[in-house]
Chains A and B, each alone.
Chain A
């Protein structure tokens, strides 16, 4: 158990819809990262937050947004969903040595 909690574990929705994925980092970790893993793209970095502020941005689509709240949990919002958004979305937290602790992921299926 990494100490990072993600909900929901599985989500099935339709094209055009909007979903929110939630992540609680390990106790004491200020950084939260979001990654997307799909068969064709591999593991893609989406965005990082540090203590509530956006720290780094990767290949995140404009339809996607994220935030980190004062209690350090984070949410990833995916809107106007397309079939190609079906993927495993991982959250990770870090103590800033670079070592990431990953949650078990949220599997999103867009039909």
Chain B
């Protein structure tokens, strides 16, 4: 079965630090990849998505992600985090025989002011 792995359970950074959250997916065929964010007490919102084309994808709020097919990875990055980025981040993949979006377990990001 397809799976999505997020390597970090909880990341703590100071404001202005750079962020990279790891994500690996298991399906070897064509996949659509997503990063969602869940701010405290809120629902999941889309940060960015990759379907095809340029493997460097830019999303909202200064986030970007790079699709590396050979590594089955889709890591999320931000050059300089802010306190308002404190949230939980979920990587997800859609593709293959499964008709539903598969989520990773999520990474909690805490940004210290």
> Bound complex: CA of A45 vs CA of B103, how far in Å?
8
Nearest A-chain residue to B42, judged by Cβ:
A104
User: Which one of A2, A100, A105 lies within 8 Å of B101 (CB-CB)?
Assistant: A100
User: Which one of B51, B90, B99 lies within 8 Å of A43 (CB-CB)?
Assistant: B90
**A-B contact number at CB 8 A:** 59
Nearest B-chain residue to A48, judged by Cβ:
B100
**Which residues of B from 35 to 67 have beta carbons under 8 Å from A?**
36, 42-46, 49, 51
Say if the beta carbon of B77 comes within 8 Å of chain A.
no
**Which residues of A from 1 to 20 have beta carbons under 8 Å from B?**
2
| Chain B residues with CB under 8 A of A104 | 42-43
> Are B43 and A102 closer than 8 Å at their CB atoms?
yes
User: What is the CB-to-nearest-CB distance from A49 to chain B, in angstroms, rounded to a whole number?
Assistant: 11
> Are A55 and B43 closer than 8 Å at their CB atoms?
no
**Which residues of B from 72 to 111 have beta carbons under 8 Å from A?**
90, 92, 94-95, 98-103, 105-106
| Chain A residues with CB under 8 A of B36 | 100, 102
User: What is the CB-to-nearest-CB distance from A87 to chain B, in angstroms, rounded to a whole number?
Assistant: 14
**Which residues of A from 87 to 111 have beta carbons under 8 Å from B?**
90, 92, 94, 97-105
> Bound complex: CA of A102 vs CA of B43, how far in Å?
7
| Chain A residues with CB under 8 A of B32 | 97-99
From B32, B43, B103, B105, name the one whose CB has the most chain A CB atoms within 10 angstroms.
Answer: B43
> Are A56 and B43 closer than 8 Å at their CB atoms?
no
> Are A102 and B45 closer than 8 Å at their CB atoms?
yes
> Are B44 and A102 closer than 8 Å at their CB atoms?
yes
14 additional contacts (CB under 8 A) given A33-B101, A42-B106:
A2-B45, A35-B103, A43-B44, A45-B100, A45-B101, A45-B102, A48-B100, A56-B98, A94-B101, A97-B51, A98-B92, A100-B36, A100-B46, A104-B42
